[in-house]
Amino acid sequence: MSRSGIGALCLLAFSAAALAAAPAKAPDAAKPPAKVEAGKVTVVSVSGPAQKLIAAKGKDKWEAVKAGEELPENTIIRTGLRAKVVLKFEDRVEVTVKSGSQMGVSEFRKAGAASKVRMGLKYGRVRTTIRREKGPSDLRIATAVATLSVRGSGCDSGFGSSGLIVKSFASDWNLQYGTHRRTVRQGEKHKDPKKLGILATQQDNDPGMLDPFGSTNTEKNKYLHWKGASGFLGGGMNPSGFKGIIPGKKPAKLVIPTPTPTPPAVQPVPTPVPIPDPVPDPDPPPNGNGHDYQ
Amino acid sequence: MVALAALALPAWTGGCSGTGTVEAPKAELVAGEGSPGFLDRMSSQTEVSENDAMRGILMLLDGSDTAKTFADRVSALRQRGVVANHWDCKAARPIARGRLAYMLYQACKVPGGVVLTLTGPSGRYCLRELQYCGIMDSGSMFGSVTGLQYVTALTRADVYMETGKVPETMNPVGGR
């Protein structure tokens, strides 16, 4: 038999196998979409003074955080000096709230293998570790100036008077401020006030001091008109600006979203939890220093 | 020459020369406030009073503030050398950056440079040392401190006391 004959036989065999397998896949295609379920946030460990405020209770009463307890959505945690709280979002995410921090968990949902986590960081530091092997995770950490979203699996982030500083220790993370986007690569630390203006928030309202070459008029206008955004508890960024902690101005008051009635354990949704597309990286980096900006 | 030196002295000491008086010695703060609540309250303020600033320093040193009045706080910190004896203290006055630097420098026992070693702590050089260490942000020694700046500096100092360095994600200069 010639080579072309053998090739034709192989092609026929593969086609027959594919046709035979097709009916077996039909039930999978008709499978209903994954159901969204509320996940459980567990306190793994607590050291030092730490308190929680559960917004769903409708009381402005802070209580001590205890190891082993479960936290509902819309819970705010604050730590004191020499304190640390470790939270576990089931088998997906582990968050370490370090000393002198205040953060909130606004949402934790699961849909099949996918998970969705929304957190806010008012001040302080958190370390986030994501187990990507368990499934795709849509995790976002909102601060008053920017939103950090997952692309990788681990990063340290801190928000204080120097602005937001992010260091990725595993894979890449996306950082978004308004229309600006930036990818923080593994082992890299975000520190570029001129491009994003994140570190500018606490620099005495003097954008001209940010870099030796000054800022463009567009950048100055952006720095001086940050207002109107909410950055806590998953509020994300409002492209129109910033409402937050600028020296000399009254900072934004922590706003907790009105708690909705407890959702049923299972909610039908037409589609699974959306996982954001990775931000395309410009190639090559425009400034040639290994950073990519959009 | 003597007159010039006399003029320069207040600037050298960070404007902290005085007779050691304490104004509003009975000024009180929220009783039973822990460090989580204190940091939360401070983070939303536009200025930090000397009374609040000293409470934070006591929390940094002892983990809690047991003093009942402003005079108690000043006395407790003077005994440790964190507050200079000649400072005039006012409970409601916003803390100056130089004074805060002096207190943090003394509380953290930061090893100083040549000038600090030779001349002793002063607001000016404590601020420069702490800015170099990454504990305090840039700015004038006479300027006031915002609540978030204070909380951040206190947190950095806390970590510095534990580990001997400032965490990279809190360091204004991006870590060293």
The band of A34, judged by pLDDT with boundaries at 50, 70 and 90, is confident
In a domain, B81, yes or no: yes
pLDDT at A91 over 50: yes
pLDDT in tens, A106-164: 889 888 888 888 888 888 888 888 887 777 888 888 877 777 776 656 666 767 766 67
Q: Give the per-residue pLDDT at A260.
A: 52
Asked if the C-beta of B168 comes within 8 angstroms of chain A's C-beta atoms, the answer is: yes
DSSP A256-282: PPPPPPPPPS-B--SSPPP-PPPPPPP
The angle, 0 to 180 degrees and rounded to 10, between the axes of the packed helices B97-108 and B50-62 is: 10
**DSSP code, position A232:** S
Domain total of chain A: 1
In a domain, A259, yes or no: no
Asked if the C-beta of A116 comes within 8 angstroms of chain B's C-beta atoms, the answer is: no
Task: Kindly state the average pLDDT of the residues A7-29.
Answer: 50
- Can you give the CATH number for the domain in which A182 is found? 2.60.120.1440
Give contacts of A102 with chain B, Cβ < 8 Å: 36, 39-40, 43
* A70 touches A85 (CB < 8 A): no
- Token look-up 């401020």 returns A177
Task: Kindly state the average pLDDT of the residues A2-17.
Answer: 53
Domain total of chain B: 1
In a domain, A209, yes or no: yes
- The amino acid at residue A256 is I
Q: ipTM of this model?
A: 0.85
In a domain, B87, yes or no: yes
pLDDT in tens, B132-173: 888 998 888 999 999 989 999 999 999 999 998 887 777 766
Reading phi first (left if > 0) and then psi (alpha if -120 to 50, else beta), residue B109 is in left
Q: Which of A141, A148, A162, A254 to mutate to test the interface with B (most CBs of B within 10 A)?
A: A162
Residue with the bigger pLDDT between B1 and B149: it is B149
In a domain, A5, yes or no: no
In a domain, B4, yes or no: no
Say how far apart CA B82 and CA A276 lie, in whole Å: 51
Asked if the C-beta of B34 comes within 8 angstroms of chain A's C-beta atoms, the answer is: yes
**Residue ranges making up the domain that contains A48:** 36-224
Rounded mean pLDDT of chain A? Answer: 64
In a domain, B127, yes or no: yes
The band of B58, judged by pLDDT with boundaries at 50, 70 and 90, is very high
Rg (alpha carbons) of chain B, rounded to whole number: 16
Lowest mean pLDDT among A56-70, A99-113, A154-168, B27-41: A154-168
| B170·A81 Cβ contact <8 A | no
Lowest mean pLDDT among A62-71, A145-154, A188-197, B98-107: A188-197
Asked if the C-beta of B146 comes within 8 angstroms of chain A's C-beta atoms, the answer is: yes
In a domain, B115, yes or no: yes
Task: Kindly state the average pLDDT of the residues A208-215.
Answer: 37
In a domain, B1, yes or no: no
In a domain, A41, yes or no: yes
**Residue ranges making up the domain that contains B122:** 15-24+31-166
In a domain, B140, yes or no: yes
In a domain, B172, yes or no: no
Q: Give the per-residue pLDDT at A129.
A: 85
Interface subset of B 37-66, CB within 8 angstroms of A: 37-40, 43-44, 46, 59-60, 63
| B149·A167 Cβ contact <8 A | no
For residue A206, the chain B residue with the least C-alpha distance is B139
